[in-house]
Amino acid sequence: MLSEYQALITAATEARQNAHAAYSNFRVGAALRATSGRIFGGCNVENATFGLTVCAERVAIFKAISEGERGFDAIAVVTDTDSLTPPCGACRQIIW
């Protein structure tokens, strides 16, 4: 089962390298797999106003939708924390 998701984990890890987290230093990467098989990566992008910060999950989802995808079957999220970091409420609603 892990090998099925390894490409997502790798893509999320790579996307995390592009994170702009100048204020929190909390870098997040996400990778979304469309039912077509395409994988879309995203990273968090912070803004000094914090309210305009965009999470990695939403970046990946919006990127996929902007490129015409509509069906998704898996998402991976990578941080550098030792414990699991669940998506925020806004991301949970978008994922839903």
Q: Which residues are catalytic?
A: 57
Residue 55 CA: distances (Å) to CA of 1, 3, 37, 92: 27, 26, 23, 11
User: Is 37 within 8 Å of 82 (Cβ atoms)?
Assistant: no
| 3-state SS, residue 80 | coil
Can you list the positions of beta strands (E) in the chain? Answer: 29-34, 39-43, 72-78
